A = this chain, B = another copy of it.
Amino acid sequence: MNTPQPASSPTLADPDTPFAVVDVHKSLRNIERLATRADRLGVTLRPHVKTAKSLDVAALMHSGTGPCPVTVSTLAEAEAFADGGYTDITYAVGIDPHKLPRVIALLDRGVTLRILLDSTEQAEFVTGAAREAGIRIPTQIEIDCDGHRGGLRTDAPALVGIGRTLHEAGCLDGVLVHAGESYFAHSAEEQRLAAKNERDTAVTAAERLRAAGLPVHTVSVGSTPTAHAADDLSGITELRAGNYVFFDLVMAGLGVCQIDDLALSVVVTVIGHRPEYGWIVTDGGWMAMSRDRGTAGQPLDQGYGLVTDLHGNLVQGLVMSAASQEHGTLTARDGAVLPELPVGTRLRILPNHACATAAQHRGYHVIDSSRPARPQHAPAIQSVWERVSGW
């Protein structure tokens, strides 16, 4: 990555817009920040690769020891990461019985694929399938800490019975908690409390199973806000987080990162002006940004995104305020003057939600903002990285 660029190497001025850009310098900085925290807290970090869905981005997380443990959101990701040499994978969406043949196929390849469930009926079909295949399917019980979506409460009557059903088939691996409501925790103290609650819930569930004589190996917690707020993870074996690899305006709005940490953006081109409305029109609409309006519920609504120049410097006061499929509208706010940006000008848009924006693209053009661009040139494109898509 530190070889000089030939004069003809492509820059952000070259590919047709819109396209997604990853700044590898910022991404690495975000990755090191959380890796350091996890080390200090004494837990294994198991990044969630659902944000970038890229083997190349995941490779930034290796600490010289090759493929790390990862979390995935689809079996397509599990299969792609298994193909890439990853052997320790948690599929963190409650299991659908119909998907078990692909789970078993991955286990048969030697991948330790952990699955998730939160009901007696799921435990019964998982253990039935495991016995029929003559294998162990390492399974975690999803525990709910904040009413976000799935999971059992720690006092759920079914919890111990599910644990026992799994254990008797050799399938009980542990418990998993995700503090999804931490995305709405708008202060450092609320985030710290969300992290404490997430940790306490996981440990309580694990202790309840252990008190019933059941072995609990993995005690897994995580979300990007709580992973950055936790100050005590005693009793926890691993920490999961995904969004932090890129961060986004939602996370900046929560104070989990700074705007300068955002590693993902979308390059767009000015294609028109409506001075009578105060609009600059670009060729980057919701197809390029997604329809995610995650900051709409935050104290500062960032529209569809903030605007920077090609070098990543914020264009103060300019916001992408509207989107249709292939059009974006930029407007000035807070009394800012609309800048003069002729047709053909390229800009970058920082997204509300990195997971959703990244999903609109087949891959990433990679830049490194720690390497200054040549004078009068846009940042050099180091490489193009592909994404995994589908299910």
Contact = CB atoms under 8 A, between A and B. Distances in A.
B50 A149 contact: no
A344 B281 contact: no
Contacts of A219: none
Contacts of A292: 286, 291
Interface of A: 16-19, 50, 73-75, 93-99, 102, 118-119, 121-122, 125, 144, 147, 149-150, 153, 180, 269, 271-274, 276-277, 279, 281, 283, 286-288, 290-293, 322, 324-327, 329, 342-344, 353, 355-356, 359-362, 389-391
Contacts of A93: 271, 283, 326-327
B273 A343 contact: no
A356 B281 CA distance: 20
A142 B97 CA distance: 52
A147 B281 CA distance: 12
A343 B119 contact: yes
Contacts of A324: 149, 180
- Which secondary structure dominates where chain A touches chain B? loop
**Assembly stoichiometry (copies):** 2
A96 B283 CA distance: 8
Contacts of A122: 271-272, 343
Contacts of A119: 272-273, 343
Contacts of A343: 96-97, 119, 121-122
A304 to B, nearest CB: 11
Given A94-B272, A96-B269, A292-B291, A362 B342 contact: no
B75 A16 contact: yes
Contacts of A360: 359
